[in-house]
Amino acid sequence: MSALEPGFTLAEASQAISEGASPLAITRQCLDRIAALEPELHAFITVTADRALAAAEQAEREIRNGRRRGPLHGIPYALKDLFDVAGLRTTAHSRLLLDNLASEDSEVTRRLEAAGMVLLGKLSTHEFARGGPTDQLPFPNARNPWATDRFAGGSSTGSAVSVAAGMVPLAMGSDTGGSVRLPAAYTNLVGLKPTYGRISRRGMIPLSFGLDHAGTLTRSVEDAALALSVLAGHDPADPGSAAVRVDDYLAGLKRGIAGLRIGYARAFNEESLVGPEQMAALDEAVRVMHDLGATVKEVALPSRRRLDACTWTILHAEGFAVHQQDLRTRAQDYGRVTRERLMLGAFVTGSEYVQAQRLRSVLRREVDDVLRDVDVIFCASIAAEAPLVAAVDEGPWRREHPITGPFNATGHPAMSLPTGFSANGMPLSGQLIGAHFDEAMLFRLGYAYEQQAEWWKRRPPV
């Protein structure tokens, strides 16, 4: 069978393997692309070539002997370097953890390995998921394959770059205020932050216990559904993991969206200072959804001021709690941006933290109220195309907080997906938000839209 085209999807690889394609050949194809593009894009911190080839050989033997474990068996993946893999370093892209050898797999790693996937390596991030794109760190910062002088989002930067550049069809990231959805939005990918508690975070280096989510970066919505089918489920060893039934995410994926109710949060976009190109792309996306049979009405979300006050008070306080000992004893080993942002949490009082948690409950109920009248909320995931790296706000307190952050505080599932391109040829993106644990609804609507619009099929110039 001929080689898959660069930038192949999980679904395409799965179908190819079912028709006799070699997992070993697919793995070698990905490793060759990594070798060719890494000198420019810096997506990886560690490439595990020998391990990957051995795993691919094993997968090939099992499949040929009639023991295929499932649709992802034999397909490559990579991990943001916050997830533990037994015997490998987990550095969080920081000097503080250069010698941090993991003794066991994270639950995410365990589930992907059990599905028979092939690990290609550990991916670049912003330091401890909190720094910035120009921090001076022990490894280079990843670069956007659509334009290397443009921001690739944070903090799951290497994860997005590796998928967008066709190095790997699935990468895992973490999302505390948008760190899966933002890189996906800036690189024309689908970025899924599932419901809080849907994917275990055991073995993932924390930033904020109450806001951290593990999430996926994929080329397509169907790929996101395939990945979550393996990753979702209760883990009693993670205190935040939810003992909730896992849906069959593929069963209703292609049912169409006739009769679904979409709540368009246009006022929320305006309050978030969404630019004209992005707003036009969102309006057009809503028109496409309407033409596919969905009903659309505008809805009012809680104000950004209240949402941001809640989200960032919690994130600052909990981020400082995680790092306070190292900040006292090894502050100079952090990058400047990371250090300054983490240290802001020292100024959050106990009273402010408690009030933020109380507000969180109120905001969650308010978003739930909106979702009683609609099946999905649609809004922007970014305000405009990716800015130049040199123009990124790296101050301790951002002038504008990410549009994605509020849904970390409320815990609702949220998925960014491509909605077009700017005049400069840079990706634009929208965001679907659903009821708790109803990721299947996001997949159903997102799949119908992407198949019609086809923005996801575009590849970067690399």
Interatomic CA distance for residues 392 and 389, integer angstroms: 5
Residue 1 CB-density burial (10 A; 0-12 exposed, 13-18 middle, 19+ buried): exposed
H or E segment to which residue 58 belongs = helix 49-64
Type of residue numbered 458: R
Amino acid identity, position 425? G
Q: Specify the 3-state DSSP secondary structure of 319.
A: helix
Active-site pick, 22, 155, 208, 220:
155
Catalytic residue among 14, 22, 80, 122: 80
* Tokens representing residue 84 in the block: 């533990």
457 given a catalytic annotation:
no
388 DSSP assignment = B
**E strands present in 86-130:** 118-123
Q: Tell me the Cα Rg of the chain.
A: 20
* C-alpha dist (Å) from residue 256 to 253, 265, 293, 439, 446: 8, 22, 8, 15, 10
Query: Considering only CA atoms, which of 243, 211, 272 is closest in space to residue 411?
Result: 211
Reply yes or no on whether 80 is catalytic.
yes
Phi/psi at 3 (5° precision): -65, 150
Candidates 377, 143, 123, 342; CA nearest to 269 is 377
50, amino acid identity: D
End-to-end CA distance of the chain: 25
Element containing residue 192 per DSSP (H, E): strand 190-193
Taken in order 308, 310, 312, 313, the sign of the CA dihedral is positive
Residue 180 CA to residue 164 CA, distance in Å, equals: 13
Q: Which of 179, 208, 272, 381 is catalytic?
A: 179
Active site residues: 80, 155, 179
